[in-house]
Amino acid sequence: MVVTEMPWGFNWLDAAIAAFVLIFIIAGLTAGLIKSAFTIVGLLTGLFLAAKYYASVGNLIAGYIDMPRFVADTVGFLTIFLATAVIIHTLGHAAAAVTRFQPLKVLDRFGGLAIGLLFGLAICGLILILLAALPIYANFPDQIEKSQLALPIMELTRDLFEQFDNYLPFNLPLTRDRVTEDLTTFSCQFDRQMHHMDG
């Protein structure tokens, strides 16, 4: 007998969401609270510094290497982001040495599990919001409506980022109109850059 329906009204999207978040939970449990916290802080700090100073680094790179400006800016952004993330991640490994004692190790593991869960839900929510806004799979919005997990996670993600919106160095497109508008703007800018290179 072939089972065509999942229990508790779940669909294939719920299964994919559960598997995705579970990966983050396991990663957080394995890394522990301190390493996980340093990794997330490294990513956010790298993103903030890169968004703020990529133009300066891009100017420096363009002064030494002949390349299109948008390429120099991209290299500058990635350089700042990766360097910051790696440095803070390395500091996290050093700080995690204090958890070698068993009581602290247990707390560290459970703290890492909690961070992994929250981070996994946030990333999953962002992916769902983008997929729902982009015309990649026409029936995807219907699958979201039928899902038991998708809509609550998307709402949680929107609420979470609204709380920190004023502190972010950029605006996240968390609605269909915003995604479409930002993609159109990016496409126009890219076309202008390519036309400039051809000329």
pLDDT tens sequence across 26-81: 999 999 999 999 999 999 899 889 988 988 998 998 888 888 888 888 899 999 99
Cα–Cα dist 87/171, whole Å: 26
Cα–Cα dist 129/199, whole Å: 38
Cα–Cα dist 110/165, whole Å: 28
pLDDT tens sequence across 6-28: 666 788 899 999 999 999 999 99
Residue 120: its H or E element: helix 102-133
Cα–Cα dist 70/169, whole Å: 19
Higher-confidence residue: 82 or 160? Answer: 82
Q: What is residue 30's predicted lDDT score, i.e. its pLDDT?
A: 92
Cα–Cα dist 11/39, whole Å: 33
67-98: b (≥16 Cβ within 10 Å) or e? eeebebbebbbebbbeebbeebbeebeeebee
**Does residue 183 surpass a pLDDT of 60?**
no
Cα–Cα dist 72/197, whole Å: 14
| The model's pTM | 0.67
Higher-confidence residue: 188 or 35? Answer: 35
CB 31 within 8 A of CB 112: yes
Cα–Cα dist 173/151, whole Å: 17
Higher-confidence residue: 199 or 118? Answer: 118
Lowest mean pLDDT among 31-40, 92-101, 134-143, 187-196: 187-196
Q: What is residue 85's predicted lDDT score, i.e. its pLDDT?
A: 94
**Percent of the chain residues past pLDDT 90, beyond the cut:** 36
Mean pLDDT of the chain: 80
